[in-house]
Structure 1
Amino acid sequence: MSSAEPAAGIDFAYDATFFFDSLPNGLKQAPAQGQQQSTDPEALSPKWYPAAKAPVSFSEDVFWSVLERWILEAPSIIPPVAKVEILYDHQNNINNNDDTSSTEKVPGDPTLISYAESQGTRAQLLLESRITPFRTVQRRLLPKRAAKDPVMNEWLYYTRSSPISHAIFAPELTPTNSHDIQTTTKTLPFYYPKVRGFRYGYIADPEEAPEDRDDHHHDNDQDESGDQDQDQDYEYEQDAAAIGEKDNAQDPTRKRKDDIRRAGQRLGWITLDLFLAGDENVFTDKMELFRKLFKWGVNATKGFTKSRVQHDIMVPKELYLQTYARLKEKHAQTWVQSWPEKTDPRKFVFEDIAIASWLISLWSLERAKNRKDQALFGSEDQNKEAEEQDEGSKSVGNMEEVRKQTFVDLGCGNGLLTHILNEEGHRGTGIDLVSRKVWAVYGAGTQLEAKTIIPNETVFDNVDWIIGNHADELAPWIPIMAMRSNPWAKFVVIPCCFFDLNGSRYQFPKGAPDGKYKAYQEYICNIIEICGYDLQKEILRIPSTKNVALVGMTRKRKREPQTCHSVDNDQQLDGQGNKNEDNQDCREQVDDLVRRSGLFVARISDKDKQVLQRERQSARLLTRELAQEQELEHKI
């Protein structure tokens, strides 16, 4: 197929036409009085019905390349899916009449081939008994919410014939009568279309528009409707643009079609068909995936790859998702239902669970690395201790629990992050200017303090990590406090509001081309650099636009590292075993930066403001009364 690109300077717009009104579930009428709706499979006889079509500017090769990505990268297309497993993959030669084929399957599961061969009748219905697929795939969709959404197996059939090629998607065990379709729709995941099957198609001939033929059957991607889950717990992207429906009577005019052809943009059509019998519920109009297929194809033709932030640099995605699923199951429902504050619990609860999941995952990796380093460089006694800890991690009260990282959470707010970390065995304290109602609910195991921090006078001698999650005026101070606290102190800052080192609002330099949030990150990154830390950055999977974590785990080295275990703490080593004198320049630069920033003025809490206001009012009243008394005495 030709892979010609669209005409330069002309954008090919998404212009889909939908046929929902012509679907059998939209046309079916209630049975006459005294009659019952037939559930006979022969009477139902499911078949393919056109649901949507759209002209495209990309070739069939691009169409198949996009679908190949969709098969393997389902989580990018279906956000509630965490992982895809390919259970069966059988490929014939491109020529459907060629017997040459290759088969891949999961080792140790000999039933898959026999199962695939047993799908003859079902496949004939889906393939209309006329074409042998050049590829057959069985995949398993594993959900993120394993406790709520079912695991689902799905069959995919690829067919190619003139002029139409199809990619057919069907849930395993396609029902054949009304009772089965009703049962199956209840067991399908919420995100999966409640139909027997669907298929995406590609028509390559730009001169033969599908609306010019009454019997068109098209391929292309599935309608990812299903019931929209109301939980916004998934850290995923959705297309926000609403897609308007068009009645099939409102097809583009012949003049417009001629204009498209003259522009040299249209190379074919993509289509969506549904495998229906008329016993399904009315199909919804949510066609986000059909539009995504168009967009991905156009971008691939232009050689464009969407610029996306890179997640999972410090913590592997799978480890994070496993931890998040566990903590969400443990904490989410409890706190969403019993949140005592006036704030929306859905935002704070899921965001704090996500941040806790990332921290706990990062810390588990850090402990694993420390054990590995001990095994490589430690003494025999230390190696034995590490082995005992690994064994003890299988039981309650083991050494691993004792060695979990300690922390202080500055500007802890509602304290939920501190509470979760405490619950997971990490000793630490949350500190904020004022207490919250929810603090009293957490219990004695959660350490929270209400007090004012003067950062230039504050150090934390016995803390492994300093956390600044939206810590406001303390955010730029956290790298400084970590550097001054102890040689092994590490930190994570998640900036939000923009404050300077003196506690006032940060004054941005003129012209911040990348936005204020980016400029403020650079400001804190500069402080981290001055403090002598190697900066690491992670884009967190949290439901917030302020999702950048700036991390300092290691300090820059000037000498070969020594073994921390062999040096007394009084020698003041930095985090890499280097003598503190090597970082004297950093300390001097930090002190100079603090002096130039001016005196830090702590923020006053609303409660203290009210007390101060009452005191001032009382003072003014007292002054007025004294003045009146003096005036009266003067008159006398």
Structure 2
Amino acid sequence: MTQPGSRPRFSPSPCDTKVQLFPPLISTTENDKWFPILSCPADFPLELFESAVDQLIHHPEYNSTLILRSETVSDTPCTGNDSSGFLKGLCSVHNIRRRLLPRRPGRDASLEQNCTLYASTSGEFAGIPSTLVLTPILAPGDSLPYYHPAVRYLAFRYIPSTPAIIRIEAVVLPDTPTDLNSRLYRTSLALLDTLHRYGWGALTKYQKRVKHDCVIAREEYQDLYLIVRERHKHLVGEWKEVTDPLKHVYEDIGIATYLMLLWKKSFGASEDNPGASDPPWKHWPRPPGGFLDLGCGNGLLTHILVSEGYEGHGIDLRARTSWEHYSEATRAALHVLALDPTQYTLNEPNNHVPYLKPRTFLIGNHADELTPWLPVIATLEHASGYLSIPCCAWSFDERFSRSSSAKFSDSSLGSVVDAEFIEGLNLGSEGGHQSQYSMYRIWLASLSQWLGWKIECDTLRIPSTRNWAIIGRERLSEGEKTYTARALDIIQDVVQRGAFKTRKPEGKAGGH
């Protein structure tokens, strides 16, 4: 089979039940009448069918926004028969029992489901998996959740004809519409498109370059996110800014969730107290010096963290409308302040950044001009770590660009920026890392390593295209004096260039 440069066009066709070029599945149970729904050309060989449907089994959330994820209950080879019903001419070879978890458990129930692979019992393709049957498992009297099609069985078939086709068939529940405008047909269309894409990906050995959940496990994050979202979703209806509340509220809930788990993982053993009435995170480890949210903007991230019992502050150049509408504890934690990192070159006690206690954790969520200063300040203040989610590309005293980036390596940025270094940054596949944003992230990672931070990168599960994060929570072993000297050298270079200007606070500074 040839491999053209791009995936062949997805060309689905509804099955004509009057013209049966390929007969439907036949179950040994007479009541189970299989109904062919639609098919399309299979642009990959039968041998890759199992690999393609493996993605369907383990990642149902890619096809439904109502599904959070699936959890594997059991994974067993089959002996030739299966409790979900034997199909004539096919034998079951593998069964995965999964549990589908809804994204909104208060509205939809979870559902267990058998995912059974079948292979032909005879002929040229005997023993090669060619059919996947999904079987919902319901207790007597229970009904299917909304996110599941109204079917008793749903099957994905590879038919090795000339040309080969992939087809979806179902044993449909009574009175379920099956016309081209029906929900069942639309769902099947989306599933078939996904299977077609996965098959092509298996053929071309496609590998997703961006990796999520590199630092915090997906299941742990998603489970806590659902809880935190329920506690703070009311903020959508109380939004005081002109920006989109759906994006900003849920984005900051996601970042807060990530930080809570990151701190739990970073600052000692868990202190969960199952018998306590407080939420478990009230007893989790946290940064010894609290947190400082640099460029906190609307203050929402600071508000969520403070509301959940974390000590910290947020600073920005101006107060936002939202600030006055938060709780008293949050209002006390938000401050109008302009940072001047060049003050570190003065021989004065280390009080250059107010609200910075020893071992504070720094946060830079789309902090713009402050973004490159995070690892510098974290180094000079002996912070317990930092999380930076860069958005607009800024260097120390001007907009970042390819042409100007060399100017900011005059401290050598000591890192070895080679293919292996870049690969570890989880940048994705933006034009071979030649886009300005990719170059900026490489530069930030080099800067962090030069200043003694062990680099960790993650792609956060938040509703933003700028969801790449660089994390510093461990120090390299060369020596703090070396890293401090490097940070001061960077600041001295900035001072000598004379272009850096501290922005003035807007409004009544110190009023919050």
Q: Match for 1:331: what amino acid?
A: H
Cα deviation 1:466-508 (Å, max 9, x = unaligned): 11111111111122222222x3442222111122312x33343
1:67 and 2:53 matched: yes
Whether the 8 Å CA contact 1:12–1:56 is kept in 2: the answer is no
Does residue 469 of structure 2 align to residue 549 of structure 1?
yes
Q: 1:84 — aligned with what?
A: 71
The one-letter code matched in structure 2 to 1:83 is S
1:368 aligned counterpart, secondary structure: coil
**Any conservation in 1 of the 2:115–2:134 contact (CA below 8 Å)?**
yes
Matched residue, 1:345: 245
Give how far 1:367 is off. 2.0
Q: TM-score, normalised by structure 1?
A: 0.62
Distance 1:414 1:91 in 2: 56
1:204 aligned residue (145, 148, 160): 160
Aligned residue for 2:203?
Answer: 301
Letter in 1 for 2:490: V
Which runs of no fewer than 5 residues in structure 2 stay unpaired? 19-29, 344-351, 406-430
- CA distance in structure 2 between the partners assigned to 1:170 and 1:8 by the alignment: 34
**Is 1:535 matched with 2:455?**
yes
1:198 is paired with a residue of what secondary structure?
strand
Is 1:411 matched with 2:411?
no
- Correspondence list, 1:181-580, <5 A: 184=143, 187-190=144-147, 192-206=148-162, 266=163, 268-276=164-172, 279-281=175-177, 282=182, 283-286=184-187, 287-302=189-204, 304-332=205-233, 334-368=234-268, 394=276, 406-446=290-330, 447-457=333-343, 458-459=352-353, 460-462=356-358, 464-485=360-381, 487-502=382-397, 504-509=398-403, 514-558=434-478, 580=480
Q: Say whether the 8 Å CA contact 1:48–1:275 is kept in structure 2.
A: yes
Determine the C-alpha separation between the residues in 2 that align with 1:533 and 1:135: 46
Q: Distance in 2 between matches of 1:58 and 1:67?
A: 12
Matched residue, 1:150: 109
Distance 1:357 1:331, change over 3 A: same
Q: Name the counterpart of 2:23.
A: none
- Decide which of 13, 16, 38 is 2:11's aligned counterpart: 16
Give the partner amino acid of 2:312. Answer: G
AA aligned to 1:301 is L
Distance (whole Å) between structure 1 residues aligned to residue 272 and residue 4 of structure 2:
62
Q: Please provide the CA RMSD for this pair.
A: 3.6
Give percent identity, aligned residues only: 28
Question: Could you tell me how far apart the structure 2 residues matched to 1:527 and 1:88 are?
Answer: 45
Question: Compared with structure 1, are the counterparts of its residues 432 and 204 closer, same or farther at alpha carbon in structure 2 (3 Å cutoff)?
Answer: same
Cα distance in 2, alignment partners of residues 514 and 456 from structure 1: 31
| Aligned equivalent of 2:41 | 55
Q: Distance in 2 between matches of 1:532 and 1:465?
A: 16
Change (3 A) 1:391 1:153: closer
Q: Secondary structure at the match of 1:549?
A: strand
Question: Structure 2 matches for 1:160-171, cutoff 5 A?
Answer: 160-161=119-120, 165-171=130-136
Contact 1:455-1:474 at 8 Å conserved across structures = no
**Cα pair distance change 1:395/1:346, threshold 3 Å:** closer
Q: Distance in 1 between matches of 2:33 and 2:274?
A: 60
Aligned counterparts of 1:540 and 1:296: Cα–Cα separation in 2 = 24
1:140 is paired with a residue of what secondary structure? strand
- Structure 1 distance, partners of 2:57, 2:470, is 34
Of 14-23 and 65-74, the range deviating more from structure 2: 14-23
Indicate how the Cα distance of structure 1 residues 9 and 421 shifts in structure 2: closer, same or farther if over 3 A, else same: closer
Task: Name the aligned partner's letter for residue 243 of structure 2.
Answer: T
Closer/same/farther in 2, CA of residues 542 and 130 from structure 1, 3 Å limit: same
Give yes or no for contact 2:287–2:361 (8 Å, CA) kept in 1: no
If the length of structure 2 is used for normalisation, what is the TM-score?
0.76
Partners of 2:284 and 2:202 in 1: how far apart? 49
d(CA) in 1 for partners of 2:341, 2:488: 17
Cα gap change, 1:278/1:588 in structure 2, threshold over 3 Å: closer, same or farther?
closer
Shift of 1:310: 1.6
Question: Which residue identity does 2:136 align to in structure 1?
Answer: P
Query: What's the CA shift for 1:75?
Result: 4.6
Whole-angstrom distance in 2 between the partners of 1:475 and 1:91: 54
CA distance in 1, matches of 2:230, 2:257: 12
CA contact 2:37–2:170 (8 Å) conserved in 1: yes
Separation in 2, partners of 1:342, 1:12: 41
For 1:330-381, what per-residue CA distance to the aligned partner results, in whole angstroms no more than 9, with x for missing partners? 112x111221222110000010011111111000011225x8xxxxxxxxxx
> In the alignment, what sits opposite 2:347?
none
Tell me: CA distance 1:131–1:149, structure 2 relative to 1, closer, same or farther (3 Å): same
Counterpart for residue 230 of structure 1: none
Q: How far apart are residue 309 of structure 1 and its match?
A: 1.0
Partner of 1:141: 100
Q: What is the DSSP-based 3-state SS (H/G/I as helix, E as strand, rest coil) of the residue aligned with 1:335?
A: helix
Where structure 1 has 5 or more consecutive residues not aligned to the other structure, the ranges are 1-5, 24-43, 97-115, 207-265, 372-388, 559-577, 609-636
Deviation of residue 528 (structure 1)? Answer: 2.1
Q: Verify the 8 A CA contact 1:532 1:586 in the aligned structure 2.
A: no
Q: What is the CA-CA distance between 1:88 and the residue it aligns to?
A: 7.2
The aligned residue for residue 7 of structure 1 is 2
Inter-partner Cα distance in structure 2 for 1:516 and 1:581: 33
The one-letter amino acid of 1:508's match is R
Q: Distance in 1 between matches of 2:201 and 2:176?
A: 35
Report if aligned partners of 1:14, 1:294 keep a CA contact under 8 Å in 2: no
Specify the structure having the higher radius of gyration (Cα).
1
Give, as a single letter, the amino acid of the residue that structure 2 aligns with 1:474.
L
- Is the 1:363–1:405 Cα contact (8 Å) retained in structure 2? no
**In structure 2, what is the Cα distance between the partners aligned to 1:399 and 1:167?**
45
Name the CA shift for 1:316/1:347 in 2 (closer, same or farther; >3 Å): same
Contact 1:470 1:496 in 2 (8 A): yes
Amino acid at match of 2:380: R
Q: Which amino acid aligns with 2:69?
A: A
State how far apart, in whole Å, the 2-side matches of 1:596 and 1:403 are.
35
Structure in which a larger fraction of residues adopt helix: 1
Q: Secondary structure at the match of 2:372?
A: helix
Q: CA deviation at 1:22?
A: 6.3
Distance 1:463 1:205 in 2: 66
Aligned length: 444
Q: Does the CA-based 8 Å contact 1:188-1:194 persist in structure 2?
A: no
C-alpha deviation, 1:551, in angstroms = 1.9
Residues 90-121 of structure 1 deviation map (CA, whole Å, 9 limit, x = unaligned): 6125xx7xxxxxxxxxxxxxxxxxxx75x6xx
Q: Map Cα deviations across residues 552-610 of structure 1 (whole Å, 9 max, x no partner).
A: 2223223xxxxxxxxxxxxxxxxxxx6x54445324432333234434223457769xx
2:338 partner SS: coil
Q: Which residue of 2 aligns with 1:250?
A: none
Contact map agreement 2:79 2:92 (CA 8 A) in 1: yes
